[in-house]
């Protein structure tokens, strides 16, 4: 009987831990232009673009409710990129079509 109770408690603990990683901090549809600019500027502070290439954020930012990531267009000079931006400010850059 004691083993059965311990097994149930263990299963419930594991289920709670697995669920707790998906908290509200991972959903951020209310972030704004300041958050995008801070995150993108922090990235380019660490990885500066070539001299003379300005970094701009054109219109078209959208939030993906399925992945909970922001998709932010970023232009570096003539290069058109998009940033996949997580709720904690980490981003991945890739090319984007016009």
Average pLDDT over residues 29-43: 94
Higher pLDDT, 57 or 10: 57
Mean pLDDT of the chain: 85
Asked, for residue 79, whether it belongs to a domain, the answer is yes
Residue 16: band (very low, low, confident or very high) from pLDDT cuts 50, 70, 90: low
Check pLDDT > 60 for residue 20. no
- Per the structure, the complete domain to which residue 60 belongs is given by 24-95
Structural domains of the chain, count: 1
Q: pLDDT (tens digit, 9 = 90+) per residue, 53-89? A: 999 999 999 999 999 999 999 999 999 999 999 999 9
Average pLDDT over residues 5-29: 63
Distance CA 76, CA 93 (A): 11
CA angle 36, 40, 46 (to 5 degrees): 155
Q: DSSP assignment, residue 52?
A: T
Asked, for residue 10, whether it belongs to a domain, the answer is no
- Residue 71 · residue 61 · CB < 8 Å: yes
Asked, for residue 37, whether it belongs to a domain, the answer is yes
Asked, for residue 35, whether it belongs to a domain, the answer is yes
pTM of the model: 0.71
């Amino acid at each position: 009987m004691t083993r059965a109770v311990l097994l149930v408690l263990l299963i419930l603990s594991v289920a709670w831990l697995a669920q707790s990683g998906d908290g509200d901090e991972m959903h951020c549809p209310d972030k704004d232009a300041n958050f995008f600019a801070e995150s993108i500027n922090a990235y380019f502070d660490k990885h500066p673009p070539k001299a003379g290439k300005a970094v701009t954020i054109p219109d078209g930012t959208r939030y993906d409710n399925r992945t909970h990531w922001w998709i932010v267009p970023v232009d570096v000079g003539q290069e058109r990129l998009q940033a996949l931006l997580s709720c904690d400010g980490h981003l991945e850059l890739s090319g984007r079509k016009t």
